[in-house]
Chain A
Amino acid sequence: MTELNQNTILVVDDTPANINLLRKILKNQYKILVAATGKQALEIIHTIPAPDLILLDVMMPGIDGYEVCRQLQADDSTADIPVIFVTAKSEIENEEAGFKLGAVDYITKPISPTIVLARVKTHMALSLARKKLEEQNIELLESARLKEDVENITRHDLKAPLTCLIGMPSLVLSGGNLTSEQEEFLTIIEESSYRMLHMINSSLDLYKMEKKSYLFNPTAVNVYAVAKKVIRELHNLLDAKKCEVLIDIDTQPATSNDNFIVWAEELLTYSLLENLLKNAIEASPEECKITISFTNGEQPHVAIHNFGAVPEALRDKFFEKYTTDGKKGGTGLGTYSAQLMIKTQGGSIAMQTSTDDGTTITITFLPISTGNHEKIFSDNQLDTCSEEVIEQLIIDHPLRVLVVDDNSSNRQLIERYLEHPMIVRDMAVDGDSAFALVQSNSYDFILLDLEMPGMDGLKTISQIRLWEKQNTQLPNRVIALSGHDDIDTIKRCQDAGFTDYIKKPIDKSAFLNLLICNANTSASVVISETSTGTEPYYTVIISNDLQDLIPKFLIFNREGIVKIQTAVDADDYDTVRSVCHNLKGSASMYGFSKLSALFSTVESAALVAQRDNIINGIAALNDYLNKVNIQYQQNDSSITSHNTTNLTGEENVTN
């Protein structure tokens, strides 16, 4: 056996004869270290590479075996070394004590060579196996972390630069003055970036759909137009097979002006059709026709037919993961992902196959319901008339917009999207400068990137919202920009007070559409919170029967605020949070909705340990309690019957 993989055993005994005996038994197979006292043993263990196993005499003068064992266990770096006690028969009643201290086994004196070898071998093997498992476990954890990191890279880091790759070519193209070759190159760049985005999105989206965390964000989609795009994309494949695609709508052959509109997501629908049509072409016999039939109705559906039959063995698990007939380069994920994509969109998929009639895949979509109508904006319409769209935004006054993003090309892109003589565009590169601008200007829209170094989007919005409250300003319309669009992120944005949300890469028409929606909808909110005059104070109308409780209630809140202050001073954010949560609940029950909102703000700030925001919040709370004006409503029933959202009371801001 070579030196390299020879395992080391430390023999600890105060009797030289015992040491010699053990050494003799073990020296052929192991490297032996010896110590005559407990103290020496500990020194050896801590100064040279630790032994793989220790044979430890219990009864020794000075530090005895138990104490050595205890000290080894107490130290993380030595706790894993297996210890076998070597003990006289008379000490056997102390076995339990030894096991409790972490010994793995006992050998009794007089020593039997066979037993010593067998026990040592067993424990050595066990210990090595455990070490190996630990190593593998660490490796597994690392690779899981790596996978997560890679996912994050694709998710965010790749998408951000792609925004420019996608957005810039069309801006250059619209500028004109290009040779036809240059135009062609730009178009190729644009198409390739779209394809890349599509690849990133679809891999991430499938993962999300599997985890059921995909956020379905439907619009009206013309599936017929999408199908035509897919067919164009697949023409090489069709030519190679000498196949042709026929399209009919409600049993009539389709004409170029036809529509087939459903409630879906265009990109998902594109991937879905691409998937299914590719399969159909591959499965079809040569020189055959493939038919796509669209049928309108309560359940609009699309049937894709080809003359190939699905092999008998695959039929039952056609839509399952990793089902493939051994096609070269096939992943077995095509039909599975198609199934995920249509189910995520609220539809269904079915397959019929027979040797005589070939195969039909039918996908059923959600219909356009009347409730969805106002949201319908065809992307194409917006694209061709973005001038008019912008006009809609600036009906009666010039628009002022603040764009906050640390990435210069993203800023530039949005700036170009909003190019118009009536739009003033301010730029900020970080949260701090954005906050400063917000305090000194009045904006119609603030577009705020979530992921920025230093003060990020979430922190910035909390500061803005807090500042608005303290200074009784109108709430700004603040729209979050982010590469993430999972439910968690969107929820966090809503909780933090963002008005709306748009995902990167930012599509021009979707972006303008979002601005228009928000320009119209938030107007009423703004008006209701408007306060005029200089020094506003809050009037809360409370039902008369609560009159006796209110003084106690106010004291209760003041005491609560003192508790919050004490907790912040002690950096105890958990207490801040729970006290705020409590006070928020009672404030809302008593009808003090503004007070409740203030507690809610401080609660959110405590969640992310934003000390400054908590302190500002406490000031706002004290200010509120000092200024609040309580009026009692004599007719109790008239108040409660008019209010369904909380138990009593109404609140108005007056001056």
Chain B
Amino acid sequence: MSQIKIVMIDDNQMICDFIKLKLENTGKFIVNYSCDGNEACRMITKEMPDIVLLDINMPNIDGPDVATIIRESPAIKHIPILYLSSLITRDDVIRNQGVIKNRNVASKSMTIDEIITRIMEIVEK
């Protein structure tokens, strides 16, 4: 299988760097990220990733806003979104089997392997 392309959007650059490093070290992923919701949509259109990792709480334009823009843009509206947030606990994710209010979710307090499992579940669907 070819590498899975990911665009990550999180206003905390160190978190983006961390996830990018951890995911790319597995050899299975290519990660691009943006720390600005406004720029995110341009990057998604350019990269056409297999999945978008989206933070919820961001200044200016927050995660759900970005999701709305993605869903309203014909070219990218099919791309699945996985919310990756610290507002959601690992227990929340497990208890709800990864889906809260019809949204795919993962927690920043999960291990990297658990996050990869969530990504694979969604991409392979």
Are the CB atoms of B13 and A589 closer together than 8 Å? no
Binary interface encoding of chain B residues 8-33 relative to chain A, with 1 for a CB under 8 A from any of its CBs, else 0: 00011111011001100100000000
- The distance in angstroms between the C-alpha atoms of A548 and B14, with both chains bound, is 12
A127 at the interface (CB under 8 A from B): no
What are 8 A-B interface contacts by the 8 Å CB criterion? A549-B21, A552-B14, A556-B14, A578-B59, A586-B12, A586-B18, A589-B14, A589-B15
9 new A-B pairs (CB below 8 Å) besides A586-B15, A589-B15, A644-B111? A545-B22, A546-B21, A549-B14, A553-B14, A578-B59, A585-B108, A588-B108, A589-B108, A590-B14
A198 to B11, CA, bound (A): 52
Q: At the interface, yes or no: A645 with Cβ under 8 Å from chain B? A: yes
Give the Cβ gap from B13 to chain A, nearest Cβ, in Å. 7
Residues of B close to A489: CB separation below 8 A? none
CA distance A549 to B15 in the complex (A): 11
Q: Which of B14, B59, B111 contacts A640 (CB 8 A)?
A: B111
**Which residues does chain A contribute within 8 Å of B21, judged by CB atoms?**
545-546, 548-549
Cα distance A589–B84 in the bound complex, in angstroms:
13
Q: How far is the CA of A551 from the CA of B16 in the complex (A)?
A: 15
The smallest C-beta distance from A536 to any residue of chain B, in angstroms, reads: 26
Instruction: Provide the bound-state CA to CA distance between A644 and B113, in Å.
Output: 10
Name the distance in Å between B86's Cβ and chain A's nearest Cβ: 5
| Centre residue among B11, B110, B111 by max chain A CB count within 10 A | B111
Please provide the chain B residues from 51 to 79 with a CB less than 8 Å away from any CB of chain A in the complex.
57, 59
- Interchain nearest-CB distance for B117 vs A (Å): 14
Q: CA–CA, A4 to B13, complex, Å?
A: 72
A136 interface residue per 8 A CB criterion: no
> Which residue in chain A gives the minimum CB-CB distance to B112?
A647
- CB closest residue in chain A, given B55: A585
Judge whether A640 and B18 touch: CB under 8 Å.
Answer: no
Chain A neighbourhood of B11, CB < 8 A: 582
Indicate which residue in B13, B18, B25, B86 contacts A590 across the interface (CB closer than 8 Å).
B18
Q: A646 within 8 Å of B by Cβ?
A: yes
CA A645 – CA B109 in complex, angstroms? 6
Specify which chain B residues have a CB less than 8 angstroms from the CB of A586 in the assembled complex: 12, 14-15, 18
**Cβ of B125 to closest chain A Cβ, rounded Å:** 24
Chain B proximity of A595: nearest CB distance (Å): 12
Known: A545-B25, A644-B111, A646-B109. A589 touches B17 (CB 8 A): no
Chain B residue numbers with a CB within 8 Å of A585 are 12, 15, 86, 108
Q: Mark A226-261, 1 if CB is under 8 A from B, else 0.
A: 000000000000000000000000000000000000
Instruction: Give, as a whole number of angstroms, the nearest-CB distance from A647 to chain B.
Output: 5
A642 CB, nearest partner CB in chain B, Å: 11
Residues in chain A near residue B14, CB distance under 8 A? 549, 552-553, 556, 586, 589-590
Chain B residues whose C-beta falls within 8 Å of the C-beta of A546 in the assembled complex: 18, 21
- Contacts A545-B25, A578-B59 hold; do A552 and B17 have CB atoms under 8 A apart? yes
> Which positions 88-115 of chain B face chain A at CB distance < 8 Å?
108-113
The answer to whether B12 and A582 have CB atoms under 8 Å apart is yes
Contact residues of A between 612 and 655, Cβ < 8 Å to B: 640, 643-648
Residues of chain A from 164 to 178 with CB closer than 8 A to chain B in the complex: none
User: Are A589 and B18 touching (Cβ within 8 A)?
Assistant: yes
> Digit string of A523-556 for contact with B (CB within 8 Å is 1, else 0)?
0000000000000000000000110110011001
CB distance from B88 to the nearest CB of A (A): 12
The interface centre, meaning the residue of B21, B86, B110 with most chain A CB atoms within 10 A of its CB, is B86
Chain B residues within an 8 Å CB radius of A589: 14-15, 18, 108
* A640, B112: Cβ atoms closer than 8 Å: yes
Interface residues of A in 587-617 (CB under 8 A from B): 588-590
**Contact among A581, A643, A645, A647 with B18 in the assembled complex (CB-CB below 8 Å):** A647
Contact residues in A for B17 (Cβ distance below 8 Å): 549, 552-553
The complex places the Cα of A648 from the Cα of B86 at a distance, in Å, of 16
Task: Please measure, in the bound complex, the distance between the C-alpha atom of A545 and the C-alpha atom of B27, giving whole angstroms.
Answer: 14
Provide the bound-state CA to CA distance between A643 and B112, in Å: 11
Q: A586-B12, A586-B14 are in contact. Are A647 and B25 (CB under 8 A)?
A: no
Distance in angstroms from B92 CB to nearest chain A CB is: 15
A578→B11 CA distance, assembly (Å)? 11
Nearest-CB distance from B2 to chain A (Å)?
23
Residue of A nearest to B85 (CB): A585
**Bound: A545/B111 CA distance, A:** 15
For the complex formed, measure the closest distance between the CB of B114 and the CB atoms of chain A, giving whole angstroms: 9
Query: Across the interface, which residues of B come within 8 angstroms of A549, CB to CB?
Result: 14, 17-18, 21
Give complex CA distance A546, B25 in Å.
11
Chain B residues near A590 (CB-CB < 8 A): 14, 18
CB of B12 within 8 A of CB of A647, answer: no
Chain B nearest CB from A628 CB (Å) reads 15
Given A546-B18, A585-B86, A590-B18: A647 and B13 within 8 A (CB)?
Answer: no
User: Which residues of B lie under 8 Å from residue A556 when comparing CB positions?
Assistant: 13-14
